[in-house]
Chains A and B, each alone.
Chain A
Amino acid sequence: MSTPQPATTLEITLTVNGERVARRVPVRQNLADFLRDTLGLTGTHVGCEHGVCGACTVRVDGAIVRACLMLAVQADGATVVTIEGAADDGAYGNVIADLRREFHQRNALQCGFCTPAMLLTAAELVVRHPQATRDEIRAHLSGNYCRCTGYQSIVDAVAAVCRASTNS
């Protein structure tokens, strides 16, 4: 096998919110910037750009990741779901809709900057571990910063969806 040659741009093909997308991207572009600037999907927010605030969380191949800590070229061949497509994403879609309703009812957002990532992060917990206690909900959301709500209403909303999904 021949040795690969270094590249500064690459052709990538991936699925974003159910649609096939092919683009040539700079190798240094992170996935969050690709989604926002190239595809216009601005629901993925860019806060700290070093993996601390969690605002850029998206789902890649079924698992939430920091889109600022993944290069767009690393998503070649992957299936990406952003907040724009999350409500249409199978079993996750219903959970996203439930979370959105509970967030709305409890004022679990104020400025809304953290909300898309909060919903995607919380949905992973509801699907994987709906029996989660409040402490487990807090631990699971610990990588997503909210500077408005003080978290109480967010934890309330996620707990309500967890409760409803274990009762149904």
Chain B
Amino acid sequence: MKAPPFAYLRPAELSQALDLINIYGTDARLLAGGQSLLSALNMRLAAPSVLIDINGLTELTGITLQQDRLVIGALTRHAEIERSPLIAQHVPLLALAMPHVAHPAVRNRGTIGGSLAFADPAAELPACCVALDAVMIISGRSGERRVRARDFFHGLYETALQPGEILVAVEFAIARPGERCAFRELARRQGDYAMVGAVALSIVDGGVLHDVHLAFFGVGDRPVLAAYAAAQLEEGIATAERIAAAQQALVRDFSAQGDVYCSGAMRMHLARVLLGRVIHDLTRTDAGGVQA
């Protein structure tokens, strides 16, 4: 189908965009990469009366290293993140995740800010941000505020963004020495949203895991940090027994929801399988886990 009628605005700078979103309120939607929004419009799942196209806001693009933080502008396209040497070196988890985000033509256009603000619970990037303890930088007319990714995702397509606010950047702590990461997802087809996905992050020192973070996506209404499972692996070698204990503990972190593709029980089973695989990735020396 075709998009329903709307009026179109193209602000040239952030302050204009903030003015416009405050003038038009909830009748307006921000158009970033458009890879979810324009699809929703074409399917008539959304019918905003005004689209505010923020693609001209060059101040929201780019990847910059600021001491021990890496800041990614909200309008930075997935393809740029996928190919960025700064990302590969300092936040390698994002480089691992990117090939799983939709398809090349979509990654050429889609933006990190759009993906995070859209907050699809089966999307890859929100879970990465939760595992990495990223910080969302949000602008409003009264100024800027910072929200941890772990407090940002409130539910299905729901975030901490308030009316009149724009997500302008995401900030990541750069990888520490010895830090490794792993990313796995199960999808029916390459590029689809995941049925289940798992992200792992840990310092690995002589096979011993320290500071383990696990996040899962596609299991509920938002990305989930699996703290109980991670605790089973903390300060030890990832033996089969400890991995099994972490897999058992997963049920304390979330109860997986069923849908038309798989039941909750199957999804929990797959989450446990992926947990085993990402921990294996972290501790092996070849592919999968990326040495920071």
Contacts and interface: CB of A to CB of B under 8 A. Distances in A.
Interface of A: 1, 3-8, 10, 27-28, 30, 33, 49-51, 54, 57, 63-66, 68-71, 73-74, 121, 124-125, 138-140, 142-144
A66 B23 contact: no
Contacts, number: 110
Contact of B16 (A4, A74, A143): A4
Contacts of A49: 1-2, 42-43
Contact of B55 (A3, A51, A74): A74
A131 to B, nearest CB: 16
B11 interface: yes
A20 to B, nearest CB: 21
B283 to A, nearest CB: 24
B35 A69 contact: yes
Contact of A6 (B7, B16, B99, B103): B7
B102 interface: yes
Given A1-B12, A50-B42, A66 B6 contact: no
B189 interface: yes
A140 B108 CA distance: 12
B3 interface: yes
Contacts of A10: 8
B178 interface: no
Contact of A70 (B9, B11, B13, B109): B109
A28 B4 contact: yes
Contacts of B3: 28, 30
Nearest to B100: A139
A141 to B, nearest CB: 9
Interface residues of B, number: 40
A143 B105 contact: yes
B62 interface: no
Contact of A66 (B16, B35, B55): B35
A71 B38 contact: yes
B9 A143 contact: no
Nearest to A3: B19
Contacts of A73: 8, 10, 53
B102 A27 contact: no
Contacts of A51: 35, 38-39, 106
A66 B105 CA distance: 6
Contact of A7 (B2, B7, B43, B55): B7
A6 B10 contact: no
Contact of A30 (B7, B38, B190): B38
B8 A143 contact: no
A144 B190 CA distance: 11
A121 B106 contact: no
B10 A4 contact: yes
A154 to B, nearest CB: 15
B39 A4 contact: no
Interface in B36-53: 38-39, 42-43, 50-51, 53
B53 to A, nearest CB: 7
A78 B191 CA distance: 27
A64 B108 contact: yes
